[in-house]
């Protein structure tokens, strides 16, 4: 199985006043856009940071990370593995 690296990122709420609040220990869903497949969820730390990690996909794969709250989709980000 090939493996590659995905960079880290932060999960936060936009407070609509120019500030943001980190989401403590967010569960973030991971979707492989390139191959149309759901991957295992990842969990951020108490400050809302999801660390960079090794992923079992080929380099150049597009991954979408998304966080959902009680009201549905809150936000997502996409990145390309290296």
> What b/e string do you get for 14-23 counting C-beta neighbours within 10 Å, with b at 16 or more?
eeeeeeeebb
73 has pLDDT over 80: no
Please give the radius of gyration of the chain, using alpha carbons only, rounded to the nearest integer. Answer: 13
pLDDT band at residue 2 under the 50/70/90 scheme: confident
Mean of pLDDT values over 55-73:
86
State the Cα–Cα distance between residues 31 and 76, nearest whole angstrom: 10
- Which tokens in the block code for residue 69? 């709250």
For the chain, domain boundaries: 4-80
Q: Which residues pair with 65 in a beta bridge?
A: 30, 77
């Amino acid at each position: 199985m090939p493996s590659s690296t995905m960079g880290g990122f932060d999960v936060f709420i936009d407070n609509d006043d120019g500030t943001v609040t980190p989401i403590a220990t967010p569960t973030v869903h991971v979707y492989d856009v390139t191959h149309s497949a759901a991957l295992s969820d990842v969990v951020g730390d108490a400050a809302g940071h999801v660390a960079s990690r090794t992923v079992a996909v080929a380099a150049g794969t597009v991954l979408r990370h998304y966080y959902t709250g009680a009201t549905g989709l809150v936000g997502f980000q996409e990145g390309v593995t290296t």
